[in-house]
Amino acid sequence: MKIIFEAPINSLSFGNVAVNLLREMWKKGIEVGLFPIGKPDASAYEIESEFGSWIQNSINNRFLVLDKDVPCIKLWHLNGSDNRKTEKQYLVTFYEASQPTFVEKKLAKLQTKTLFCGNYANDQFRNAGCDNAAPFLLGFDPSFHITGKKYLPERVHFGIMGKFEKRKHTAKIIQTWLEKYGNNPKYLLSCCVTNPFFSGEQMQQLISSTLGGQRYSNVNFLPYFQTNKEVNDFLNAIDIDLSGLSGAEGFGLPSFNATCLGKWSVVLNATAHKDWATADNSILVEPSGKIPIYDGVFFKENDMFNQGEIFDWSKESVFEAFEKAEVKVGTVNEEGIKTGQEFTYARTLDQILAAIQ
């Protein structure tokens, strides 16, 4: 089987998904013509030498595989999906808003098929008339593993990971946690929330605003992690993940990965979270309603992309979820580990290939 694969190879979420899909293609013996979006950089990942050579050969020989009849899998945003390498293009993408615009629908329909991560996003486009839309689900990155180390056994360690955004309720999550646990030495909150699209000065302003200009002894802000190994250590070090309180996700990898490592995640029961987070493997929080998605930076009202609302939650329900999660600290989330065994990238690739075939 031959496939054209167009995707970014970098340390961001798209790059992480791309590397995992490539590994499964390599295992299946698929002949791939790899067209990287942007400059390829796989330094964030521990890649076996044989697999690494295969990736390089797939880039070097991409034009030998290129043919109008070879299907192209494009892992990218809707914004930027308007060009194609071959006649049959299958866009694999993520959507985090709620009201597909005319342009988004046009681009989705332009593809042979548009595969959206999660049933929530897929339903938004199917309901908007995009009959070529189909869902897929991500897998648990096999490079993540339980380290068995003891990190901070004397404290209840909460963590939040992901780009600092209104959509993710980053500031609200931190402020809600501080209202309950601020300056209590029994508790610690570690935040890996650097947004690479902000300057260092802008990030400091965001953090200062979030903290209300106050100093807290039990919250720390970590720099952007350059490698998967650092991410794995972070997820192993925490007891409770709060990233899942995001108001709109294409999947929610940080909280999903923490759950699959046997940690306890507090998760908003909405959008793509509903595809993997259950009452058995997570501490679910029901939404309190919806609010506009717009932040004036990444989501602008009346733009051609990313319009609509995100889900919100009440502080009271999250306080209750904190307490439920606390009770579970020190125990392994066995159902979460089972989730990681069920959700594999082999299955992800099979879902994508089924859409092609």
- Are residues 189 and 158 in contact, defined by beta-carbon separation less than 8 angstroms? yes
Average pLDDT over residues 76-90: 96
Distance CA 51, CA 49 (A): 5
Q: How many CB atoms lie within 10 A of CB 206?
A: 18
As given in the structure block, the two tokens for residue 116 are 């959206």
Q: Assess contact for 151 and 236: CB atoms under 8 A.
A: yes
Tell me what the pLDDT averaged over the chain comes to.
97
Query: What are the boundaries of each domain within the chain?
Result: 2-140+344-356, 156-342
The phi-psi region of residue 129 (left if phi > 0; otherwise alpha if psi is between -120 and 50; otherwise beta) is: left
Mean pLDDT on 247-261: 97
pLDDT, mean of residues 341-352? 98
Residue 89 has a CB neighbour count (10 Å cut-off) of 20
Determine if residue 80 is left, alpha or beta; phi over 0 gives left, psi from -120 to 50 gives alpha, anything else beta.
left
Q: In the predicted model, is pLDDT for residue 197 greater than 90?
A: no
User: What integer pLDDT is reported at residue 357 of this predicted model?
Assistant: 84
Q: Tell me the C-alpha distance between 292 and 97, whole Å.
A: 10
What's the distance, Cα to Cα, between the start and end of the chain in Å? 11
- State percent of the chain over pLDDT 70: 100
For residues 238 and 196, the model is more confident at 238
Does the domain at 2-140+344-356 match CATH 3.40.50.2000? Answer given as yes
pLDDT 10s digits, 65-75: 999 999 999 99
Give the position of tokens 């030498």.
49
Per-residue pLDDT averaged across 333-357, rounded?
Answer: 97
Whether residue 247 is predicted with pLDDT greater than 90 in this model: the reply is yes
Q: What architecture is the 156-342 domain classified under in CATH?
A: 3-Layer(aba) Sandwich (3.40)
pTM of the model: 0.96
C-alpha–C-alpha distance, residues 355 and 256, integer Å: 24
- Whole-angstrom CA distances from 240 to 59, 192, 233 are 40, 14, 14
Give 278's pLDDT tier (boundaries 50, 70, 90). very high
Residue 297 contacts residue 280 (beta carbons within 8 Å): no
Asked whether the domain spanning 156-342 has the same topology as the one spanning 2-140+344-356, the reply is yes
CA distances from 102 to 98, 108, 128, 226, 291 (A): 13, 10, 10, 37, 22
Is 328's pLDDT higher than 90? yes
| Helix H or strand E segment including 102 | helix 102-110
Q: Report the alpha-carbon distance of residue 218 to residue 136 in Å, rounded.
A: 39
Could you tell me the two tokens for 183? 């300056």
Q: Rounded distance, CA 219 to CA 222, Å?
A: 10
Q: What is the pLDDT of residues 109-145, one digit of tens each?
A: 999 999 999 999 999 999 999 999 999 999 999 999 9
